[in-house]
Amino acid sequence: MIRFLFFLTALLFFLPGIAHTGPIRIKDLVEFDGVRGNDLIGYGLVVGLNGTGDGLRNSPFTEEIMSNILERLGVNVTGEQFRPKNVAAVFVTATLPPFARAGSRIDVTVSAIGDAKSLLGGTLVMTPLNAADGQIYAVAQGTVIAGGASAEGNGASVVEGVPTSGSIPSGARIEREIDFDFSTLRQLRLALRNPDFTTAGRIETAINARFQKPVAVMMDSGTVMIDITATRMQSPAHALSAIENIMVEPQRKARVIVDQRSGTIVLGEDVRISRVAVSQGNLTLRIQEEPLVVQPNPFAPGDTVVIPRTAASISEQPGTGLAEVRGGTSLSEVIAGLNALGVSPRDMIDILKSIKAAGALHAEFIVR
């Protein structure tokens, strides 16, 4: 309970500070149409492990890819059986950043897909990385930096972190560029990360004020269209460099976010609760079986029998009684009203659900 009250008190001071930090750059509120990354994936082999690789009896695909690599290198292994413990089959993932050029390098993540115990100290063999269109855009290779460690003996083992996953900084070289000519764009859309009509309207107004002419048009709550030609800038890149740093004060929906797994509750600054009365308590039912064994006297006729005996009781904790949560005009008053109930975080989640069902919670209620 003390921990929960401390959390809400910290929230009281923290959230209003966020809400009144002032305007935010447009680049932090929107995504620019066409300026995006692309996901890459590949299937490869990590070698040089210290006996922590795949067991090939349980991971036959490791033997298959190892045979393919050796045959491409001119080593005939047809009919041979491999039983090494220093190799592991892995998935290699990366993100191709926007406007990446051939020859530049990107980071990759390596994850074991077999029963390897650790990738620590291993080396990824040259692995092509494909995009969703099936084309190869990068090739990865290098020493894997694993984020954990494992050790085992005859009677016990210990694992710290996740040694079966690691990364290779600058581990892939880009071999193909995305065919996209950004300089030919005549119109560009700004996609809001959190769609809102008020925020989109403010972005439109701020951009038009910057250029002193109508170059931006709000299409909907999540899209603002920019006329690149009307900006009279040298190129779309120059236009975006002038737009992305314009300051805009965003507007957000009032939200209450609940994580039932951890018992975390987050209330937005604009959350309001109408005047409502809440009563909370717990009802406990206990049933205990205490069978009684009855035996006949020594050397007397009869059988041993078991007589069932059940003890049942119902108890109800006092709870909070009927408490009034006054209509909140600010986040601090809402928190003060909820704290007055004096309940645990788990019970607070149920109370918030009930207040929402009663129509007294004026905010979007999100349960994760």
DSSP sequence for 195-217:
--HHHHHHHHHHHHHHHTS--EE
Domain final residue, candidates 111, 146, 174 = 174
Range 165-169, long-range pairs (CB < 8 A, 24+ positions)? 165/109, 165/110, 165/111, 165/112, 165/119, 166/109, 166/110, 166/119, 166/120, 167/107, 167/108, 167/109, 167/110, 168/107, 168/108, 168/110, 168/124, 168/140, 168/142, 168/143, 168/144, 169/107, 169/145
Contact between residue 167 and residue 108 where contact means Cβ atoms under 8 Å apart: yes
The 10s digit of each residue's pLDDT in 49-58 is 888 877 766 6
| Residue 190 Cα distances to 126, 219, 238, 243, angstroms | 38, 10, 15, 10
Tokens of 275: 């005047």
Q: Is residue 68 part of a domain?
A: yes
Q: Is residue 159 part of a domain?
A: yes
Q: Is the pLDDT of residue 319 over 70?
A: no
Domain final residue, candidates 148, 174, 200 = 174
Tokens of 285: 């039912």
Do residues 341 and 265 both lie within one domain? Answer: yes
The 10s digit of each residue's pLDDT in 31-40 is 988 788 899 9
Do residues 218 and 110 both lie within one domain? Answer: no
Q: Is residue 16 part of a domain?
A: no
Contact between residue 139 and residue 175 where contact means Cβ atoms under 8 Å apart: yes
Q: Is residue 125 part of a domain?
A: yes
Tokens of 168: 């290779």
Rg of the chain in Å (alpha carbons): 32
Do residues 308 and 345 both lie within one domain? Answer: yes
The 10s digit of each residue's pLDDT in 263-302 is 788 877 778 877 777 776 665 556 666 777 777 777 777 7
The HSE-up count of residue 245 (CA atoms within 13 Å, CB side) is: 4
The 10s digit of each residue's pLDDT in 181-207 is 888 888 889 999 988 899 999 999 999
Q: Is residue 19 part of a domain?
A: no
Q: Which residues neighbour 244 within 8 Å (Cβ) at sequence distance 6 or greater? A: 25, 26, 27, 32
Do residues 117 and 140 both lie within one domain? Answer: yes
Q: Minimum mean pLDDT among 83-97, 113-127, 166-180, 306-320: which range?
A: 306-320
Query: CATH number of the domain that 237 lies in?
Result: 3.30.70
The 10s digit of each residue's pLDDT in 92-151 is 999 999 888 999 999 999 999 888 888 888 999 999 999 998 899 999 999 999 876 666
> Quick one: which H or E segment has residue 71?
helix 60-72
Contact between residue 367 and residue 258 where contact means Cβ atoms under 8 Å apart: yes
Do residues 97 and 167 both lie within one domain? Answer: yes
Quickly count: other Cβ atoms within 10 Å of residue 244's Cβ: 16
Do residues 223 and 264 both lie within one domain? Answer: no
Tokens of 277: 């009365």
Q: Is residue 131 part of a domain?
A: yes
Do residues 313 and 354 both lie within one domain? Answer: yes
Contact between residue 365 and residue 352 where contact means Cβ atoms under 8 Å apart: yes
254 vs 334, residue with greater confidence:
254
Do residues 123 and 57 both lie within one domain? Answer: yes
Q: Which residues neighbour 264 within 8 Å (Cβ) at sequence distance 6 or greater? A: 257, 258, 345
Q: How many domains does the chain have?
A: 3
Domain extent at residue 311: 255-367
Q: Is residue 3 part of a domain?
A: no
Q: Is residue 85 part of a domain?
A: yes
Do residues 187 and 297 both lie within one domain? Answer: no
DSSP sequence for 307-335:
E--EEEEEEE--TTEEEEEPPPSSHHHHH
Do residues 285 and 357 both lie within one domain? Answer: yes
The 10s digit of each residue's pLDDT in 213-237 is 999 999 999 999 999 988 888 888 8
Q: Are strands 145-146 and 105-112 parallel, antiparallel or unpaired?
A: unpaired
262: three-class secondary structure by DSSP: coil
Domain final residue, candidates 174, 207, 222 = 174
Do residues 203 and 154 both lie within one domain? Answer: no
Q: Is the pLDDT of residue 83 over 70?
A: no
Do residues 155 and 43 both lie within one domain? Answer: yes
The 10s digit of each residue's pLDDT in 85-94 is 788 889 999 9
Contact between residue 265 and residue 256 where contact means Cβ atoms under 8 Å apart: yes
